[in-house]
Amino acid sequence: MPQEQPHIDPVDFAGLWAEARSLYFAKGFPPYASPAWQALDPDDPQRLAAALDAAEKWRKYGDEEALMRWFCDASRAFTSEGRSRVELAQMRKPKPPHELQATPGWPPIRIPGGNGRYLTYTDERGMAA
């Protein structure tokens, strides 16, 4: 049975080149400009691999801080719509059940779980069950 090949976009030459070079130079390199990266020898291939990885991420996603701010703003607007935690907690509380009320001009209302009983409107007493 043939193995399924990963999808590679042949048009993304820059991405393919950067991924191939960073994997060729080193695997498991520290993040670019981190203290571990700064402690590496200047000729260490992990330094170049991390720089290529950072450049490729910048090319694909842009400024990381701006991207994280966008994610935070998008998730905040999606989840809470600007409401406070107290308001959200209040919205999660169960609501009381709706009370049936017969009104003039409407047919009788069957009472759920009432074994065939109906709620009807009468002029003299208001409501009768």
Band of residue 35 on the pLDDT scale cut at 50, 70, 90: very high
CA distance 29 to 31: 7
Domain coverage including residue 126: 97-129
Which tens digit of pLDDT belongs to each residue from 50-87? 888 888 778 777 777 777 777 777 666 555 566 777 88
Q: Considering its fold, how many domains does the chain have in total?
A: 2
* Residue 2 resides in a domain: no
Residue 85: CB atoms within 10 A of its CB come to: 8
Say yes or no: 18 and 54 in one domain: yes
Say yes or no: 59 and 120 in one domain: no
* Residue 88 resides in a domain: yes
Question: ∠ at Cα 50 (47, 55), nearest 5°?
Answer: 125
Which tens digit of pLDDT belongs to each residue from 78-128? 555 667 778 878 888 998 888 878 888 888 888 888 888 888 888 755 445
Say yes or no: 110 and 127 in one domain: yes
* Residue 7 resides in a domain: no
Say yes or no: 107 and 64 in one domain: no
- pTM of the predicted structure, to 2 decimals: 0.37
Radius of gyration of the chain (CA): 33
Count how many residues are written for the chain.
Answer: 129
Q: Is the pLDDT of residue 3 over 70?
A: no
